[in-house]
Amino acid sequence: MAEHGGNLDLALQRFGGHTRDWIDLSTGINRQPYPVGELPAESWSALPSRSDIQSLHRAAQRAYRTAAPILATNGAQAAIQWLPHLASRGRARILIPTYNEYAAVLSVAGWEVTETSELEALAGADIAVLANPNNPDGKRFEPNQLLALLPRVGRLVVDESFADAIPGLSLAPEAGQPGLLILRSFGKFFGLAGLRLGFMIGSEADISALAVMAGPWPVSGAAIEIGNRALLDREWADATLARLSRDCLRLDAEVARLGWPLVGGTPLFRLYETGDANRAQERLARAQIWSRVFSYHEGWLRLGLPGSEPEWARLSAALTC
Amino acid sequence: MAEHGGNLDLALQRFGGHTRDWIDLSTGINRQPYPVGELPAESWSALPSRSDIQSLHRAAQRAYRTAAPILATNGAQAAIQWLPHLASRGRARILIPTYNEYAAVLSVAGWEVTETSELEALAGADIAVLANPNNPDGKRFEPNQLLALLPRVGRLVVDESFADAIPGLSLAPEAGQPGLLILRSFGKFFGLAGLRLGFMIGSEADISALAVMAGPWPVSGAAIEIGNRALLDREWADATLARLSRDCLRLDAEVARLGWPLVGGTPLFRLYETGDANRAQERLARAQIWSRVFSYHEGWLRLGLPGSEPEWARLSAALTC
């Protein structure tokens, strides 16, 4: 299996302690989650109805500012798992470095996968994949750059898992045209990764095909109920956006004292050049703070944002000691 | 899309009222659900870890009395959705009448699907599918009958979605041998269909392949937490089994007064020959009780079991008036 953040199992094995002792900054998941609140009993007991799912779709269309066909999935990862089956196998090109599940999932399903670090080199692919903003380096593409690429590929898959915190970057308002397929993650910005909720936005044909593959009950009753509330809560989103935008600069300032330059990031995570990421990871792990390293780049360390003042204090102490 | 029970949307459209006014007996979902209780905040916020998922797998192995490889899925339906991709397309044979998603999902994915009502006629299939006990008619097969069929098919898929309430019928203790693939539903017996949790039990090779297709986070944190509790709660299961076994006979007795013969069933649902199922469905619907009819059999009406004395009283009144 591909390496991932959120692998606290590994931290416990190597450095001990219990899950609750650790501050997991190895992901870009917001550590001040949307308040779940009470759920009606039917969310647990009843099969999600079509109208329930449709109401979630409408909430997501509103939040993502799109009128295009949309499909709720069991996390953005579930959407990735179906991607290889959307068309006959062909040439996939992936803009790297990026989230490593695309190459893994497409390869296993028999696609010919090429990785490239040049946007232009995606042209000619049957499926071209990129993330905007990108994970882990935070690289951003203007919507127009991507729309210019669209006619030159079979399908353009834009992973917008971290786009909630960067208004204006999303292609969702342009979705619906053939060949453009957008993935959204609910759990990262809303801090509810355990809920498993994501969305695909695309053409009528693609979303219909994906809906058939995903089946009649692709998401849980809890995902429908909480997703509906959270996606329509502009006040919470605005406050969260403001906090994350402040806090990511605070993290940069903390880290700057060590002389680790910022490679890039989004308001939900930051990537630093540490020179020796394994050593940096160990240093934080001794204070039971977990971070993300990358086998393909020995200097890179990715950190999510602490979620409370006690967490900030522990991070600050770990960085200065 | 295939027709399903649990389609209360349709009942509301045709007969009015609000969801909460209706007693939905159109499914075989237990209407006295397992008590969900409190969930730790991490169930919502954290990505499910591998050890979390492994603990759920161990609980399911214990509940289903098997040591075979197992995979938690986003409902038994999610397992069905992956089935066509487990092997190269070929000949699928399905023992009918049964749950209609198998034929639909396999056909769409390019399999040649034949339906048969004779167990013997499944021999020679690349994938043979049957449900035990069967839905909607409750037909049962002895484990030995099915094991005898196993060497004569490429894969034998046994849908045990309703097996929890009929101890001794399950092939799970025999699972692990090549070609045998068992589906279990969590939500029906435990009355938590909105949670979306199911399992596949099979050979090392099949379960590994399915795990790759389902991806690293196939189920929610809530499904892991609640699944773990419920699957290990023998006391609740025994009490529920006793209640369902009593109550299904009570339902038969209520219905017998109308002269609708029992076609078959399980402790979670009963199938009756009404002569005119649409008329019978309408009669119950006027009392806001929803039931299941089948387009392929005009007399059949399937009823789940009421979950409380007020529900029994309403059903009794609707049947006698």
Contact (CB, 8 A) for B272 and B303: yes
CA pair distance A282, A14, nearest whole angstrom: 10
Mean pLDDT of chain A: 96
Residue B240 near chain A (CB below 8 Å): no
Contacts of A151 (CB under 8 A, 6+ apart): A179
pLDDT interval class at A178 (50, 70, 90): very high
Token reading at A226: 């909480």
Predicted confidence (pLDDT) at residue B130 exceeds the cutoff of 70: yes
Tens-place pLDDT, residues B219-243? 999 999 999 999 999 999 999 999 9
Contact (CB, 8 A) for B184 and B163: yes
Using CB atoms within 10 A of its CB, is residue A317 exposed (0-12), middle (13-18) or buried (19+)? exposed
Query: What confidence score (pLDDT) does residue B84 get?
Result: 96
Tens-place pLDDT, residues A67-122? 999 999 999 999 999 999 999 999 999 999 999 999 999 999 999 999 999 999 99
Residues paired with residue B177 on neighbouring β-strands, in sequence order: B175
Predicted confidence (pLDDT) at residue A42 exceeds the cutoff of 80: yes
Tens-place pLDDT, residues B142-178? 999 999 999 999 999 999 999 999 989 999 999 999 9
CA pair distance A243, A93, nearest whole angstrom: 36
Token reading at B113: 């699907």
Contact (CB, 8 A) for B6 and B269: no
Query: What confidence score (pLDDT) does residue B42 get?
Result: 95
Which residues of chain A lie closer than 8 angstroms to B49, CB-CB?
A: 6-9
What are phi and psi for residue B187, nearest 5 degrees? -70, -20
Query: What confidence score (pLDDT) does residue B163 get?
Result: 97
Predicted confidence (pLDDT) at residue A2 exceeds the cutoff of 80: no
Q: How far is CA A261 from the centre of its chain?
A: 23
Portion of chain B with pLDDT greater than 70, in percent: 99
What ipTM describes this predicted complex?
A: 0.96
Tens-place pLDDT, residues B252-262? 999 999 999 99
Predicted confidence (pLDDT) at residue B1 exceeds the cutoff of 60: no
CA pair distance B149, A276, nearest whole angstrom: 59
Predicted confidence (pLDDT) at residue A204 exceeds the cutoff of 80: yes
CA pair distance A32, A34, nearest whole angstrom: 7
Residue B33 near chain A (CB below 8 Å): yes
Residue B212 near chain A (CB below 8 Å): yes
Residue A266 near chain B (CB below 8 Å): no
Whole-angstrom CA distances from B97 to B85, B124, B137 are 24, 20, 8
Contact (CB, 8 A) for B140 and B274: no
Query: What confidence score (pLDDT) does residue B7 get?
Result: 87
Using CB atoms within 10 A of its CB, is residue B291 exposed (0-12), middle (13-18) or buried (19+)? buried
DSSP string, B234-281: HHHHHHHHHHHHHHHHHHHHHHHTTT--EEEEETTEEEEE-S-HHHHH
Average pLDDT over residues A173-196: 98
**B216 and A44 in contact by Cβ < 8 A?**
no
Predicted confidence (pLDDT) at residue B298 exceeds the cutoff of 80: yes
- For A172, other C-beta atoms within 10 Å of its C-beta total 25
pLDDT interval class at A1 (50, 70, 90): low
Average pLDDT over residues A142-163: 97
CA pair distance B92, A25, nearest whole angstrom: 47
Contact (CB, 8 A) for B78 and B198: yes
Token reading at A144: 């127009």
Token reading at A281: 């990871």
**A75 and B217 in contact by Cβ < 8 A?**
yes
Residue B108 near chain A (CB below 8 Å): yes
Query: What confidence score (pLDDT) does residue B284 get?
Result: 97
Predicted confidence (pLDDT) at residue B321 exceeds the cutoff of 80: no
Contacts of B134 (CB under 8 A, 6+ apart): B95, B97, B98, B140, B264
CA pair distance A131, A284, nearest whole angstrom: 28
Among chain A residues, the shortest Cα distance to B73 is held by A74
pTM for this predicted structure: 0.97
Instruction: Please say whether the dihedral angle defined by the alpha carbons of residues A271, A272, A278 and A284, taken in this order, is positive or negative.
Output: negative
Which of A44, A111, A240 has the most B C-beta neighbours within 10 Å, making it the best mutation to test the interface with B? A44
Q: Tell me which residues of chain A, numbers 177 to 206, contact chain B at a CB-CB cutoff of 8 Å.
A: 187, 191-196
Residues paired with residue B130 on neighbouring β-strands, in sequence order: B158
Query: What confidence score (pLDDT) does residue A3 get?
Result: 80
Query: What confidence score (pLDDT) does residue B195 get?
Result: 98
Token reading at B135: 């839905």
Tens-place pLDDT, residues B56-80? 999 999 999 999 999 999 999 999 9
CA pair distance A185, A73, nearest whole angstrom: 9
Query: What confidence score (pLDDT) does residue A253 get?
Result: 97
CA pair distance B222, A195, nearest whole angstrom: 7
Residues paired with residue B184 on neighbouring β-strands, in sequence order: B199
The closest CB to that of B47, out of A36, A193, A213, belongs to A193
CA pair distance A252, A256, nearest whole angstrom: 6
